[in-house]
Structures are given as C-alpha cells and as structure tokens.
Amino acid sequence: MHAADHLPCGEAPHTEAAHAPPPGGEAQRREAPRRHEIPRRGEPPAKVVLQPAEIRRALTRIAHEILERASGADDVVLLGIPTRGVPLALRLAERLGQVEGRPVPAGSLDVTMHRDDLRLRPARALGHTEVPSAGIDDKIVVLVDDVLYSGRTVRAALDALGDIGRPRAVQLAVLVDRGHRELPIRPDYVGKNLPTSQREMVRVLLAEVDGEDAVLLGARPADRGDS
C-alpha cells in the first residue's frame, strides 16, 4: 500500500515527510497512543510500532529466509513497488549480496497503470520502473512492498510483471502485514504481522524517502484514502 501520493522519479519526497517527528523512545512504543504523543501536522497522533533497529533485524531475517527458500541467490531478482518498496528492495539486495558475496539484482516495478482503483480518484503520477538488465525470465522474482493490506497492489504488480517477462516463480516480501485482505494473496516473507482495525492507518517511514526509519500506527485521517 502506498501513501496517497505516487511521486514521479527525481521529485523530492512529499512535504509531510519534512514534518515527521523523531522516532519515539523504547517506553513510548509499549504504551497505548496518547494525545500529542507524535505530533504530525494535520494528522492524528500515531504510535511507533517498529523502531529502526527492529526494521533492520526484520530485513536481515527476510534476507536469510529468501536465501533459504531459493537455495542461494543465483536466480533471485528483487523488485520493489514504488514508493517505499524500492528502498526496501535495495536494502534486501544489499544484505543478500553481503551473504552471497556477489551483487544481487534489484529494481523497481510501478503498478499504477495496472491498478483497479484508477477511476476512483484523479489520475496519478507514475512511479519509476527499472527492471535489472538481465530481465526476469526464468528468475525467482521477489516483489517487495512496505505494507500489505487489501492485496490489490500486489495483484496489479502480478499483472505488470506479466508484461515484462515470465519469471520461474514470484514471491512476496512485505515489511508489515496488516491483514484485511480482499484478494486471495498471501506474503511469503513478513517483517511484522500487525493486527489492525480498518479505521487505523499504517505509515512506513524510510530514511531514503522520509529521512528516518519507523513504522507508525495511528487513526486514519478523515481525508485519507488508503494505507
């Protein structure tokens, strides 16, 4: 899932990010959300559910699980779904590369043109698609996204993949699985299972996009459509 905006490549991250608070302390995240706990301009307060170190450990674990399942990284290609799936894919590729001792191809796959909710809102800017030069034919493609929610983004990604090539297998890695699936899709690798209410909103912040690492859980602002 994505924040309501898809940014064209090369554009600065959306302005909300600039107002992101410093990550909360250890004590803070065990407590129920208090008012004014994480003041974000124009948004209700949110609770930190994953700290930078926890994100780091989850990605390291996922990297090892990928290697175990694929018996090495020989045919693995990581494709991140913009916006925040892309830096996650690059981080996973870096870890796979460290373990295997050679670079693992990673890229990005924009799914905007394949979404089923295009007509529900004004046309969005496209994200960037960058498929590694070796292609995806006969490879094990691991799709990487920040939050798995309805599953519709992943469905769109599977359609988009079909136009690029024919992988041997497609797997799905997500940092947060918040449940509420609307399609028969399940992740292969999960950073954290996070039971949520549909009234809540999960926000993943990543240093590459937002200037810091954190996963936040808060009430859904009235004007927000997804995530």
Site residues (CB under 8 A) for another protein?
Answer: 8-11, 110, 113-114, 118-129, 159, 162-165
3-state secondary structure of 62: helix
Is 81 within 8 Å of 108 (Cβ atoms)? yes
Nearer to another protein, 118 or 183 (CB): 118
Nearer to another protein, 127 or 151 (CB): 127
What is the edge-to-edge ordering of all strands in the sheet holding 189-193?
A: 106-108, 76-80, 140-148, 169-177, 189-193
Rounded CA-CA distance 209/135 in Å is 26
Nearer to another protein, 212 or 226 (CB): 226
Nearest approach in angstroms of CB 76 to another protein is 21
Nearest approach in angstroms of CB 177 to another protein is 27
Nearest approach in angstroms of CB 125 to another protein is 6
Is 133 within 8 Å of 165 (Cβ atoms)? no
In this structure, what token pair is assigned to residue 191?
């950073």
Omega of the bond prior to 83 within 30 degrees of 0, cis? yes
All residues at 6 or more sequence positions from 177 whose CB lies less than 8 Å from its CB, including other chains: 147, 148, 187, 190, 192, 193, 194
Nearest approach in angstroms of CB 16 to another protein is 15
Nearer to another protein, 129 or 196 (CB): 129
Nearest approach in angstroms of CB 9 to another protein is 7
Nearer to another protein, 50 or 143 (CB): 143
